[in-house]
Amino acid sequence: MKAVAMYSPYGWKAKIGLIVPSTNTVNEPEFWRLAPEGVTIHTARAMLLGPATEESYYKMAEAVNGAADELATAEVDVVAYGCTSGSIICPLPELIRNMSQRTGTPAIATAGAVVAALRALGARKIAVGTPYVDFVNESEDKFLRDYGFDVLTLQGLRLGETQEERRGIGRVPPEMVFRLARAIDRPDADAIFISCTNLATFDVIAEIERELGKPVVTSNQACFWACLRLLGLRTAISGYGTLLETRLDPIDESSYALPSAR
């Protein structure tokens, strides 16, 4: 047994532990679309009930702790919290620290991955599209500005007033994401950011980049990229945007720290 203690027949490069909101049906399949040979995804769910409120996000953050404990038993190599809004509204450093301590591995939350991705692309002025209700959009705008970005425009689809609307984010067609990206773009924007791990974006990232002539960052794309880079894996993945094709250097905590802490 000692000779194969570090071996996994499928995740022989890395096993990614992914924590998703219980209503999320997009994050997992999009992670699997990106997974190169030797990288596997192992998922736990954190209960999310009711309309989008600050209370619902904090309750889900409590459930993230238990999900991290479960993933620790799977001996994952990195753990990611796949919720952009949840890691914006709840304190990002605390979320990452708790997951890392419980799993004994590097950890990332989607909001931190987005910060690291935009910085890796050299983007400062950004245009943002989301499916969120107003209070989440306002929190996201403040979060991005606190982390040093100039938010030129932010437009939300205002989904999440009810539980059914929140689940409906996973049914928004990628073609709508394409139109949203064109609507939010500004000539002086360095990059487009499409937020939410339950919003399907992978079929249109490359097309948006070709149409607008600038890099596109989406929540699941950035989070998977961050998982690979935290593990020091330099694998390039084609077809899903500039970020995964060219930004291959490892990252560390300074990549997603507040400017005052860097």
Query: For the segment 178-202, what is each residue's pLDDT rounded down to a tens digit?
Result: 999 999 999 999 999 999 999 999 9
Span 37-62, pLDDT tens digits: 999 999 999 999 888 899 999 999 99
pLDDT of residue 74: 97
Confidence of residue 166 (pLDDT cuts 50, 70, 90): confident
Confidence of residue 123 (pLDDT cuts 50, 70, 90): very high
Q: Angle CA(75)–CA(170)–CA(74) in degrees, nearest 5?
A: 5
**Rounded distance between C-alpha atoms, residue 40 and residue 17, angstroms:** 9
Tell me the pTM. Answer: 0.96
Which contiguous run of DSSP H or E holds residue 107?
A: strand 107-109
- Kindly tell me the burial class for residue 238, based on how many C-beta atoms sit within 10 Å of its own C-beta (0-12, 13-18, 19 or more): exposed
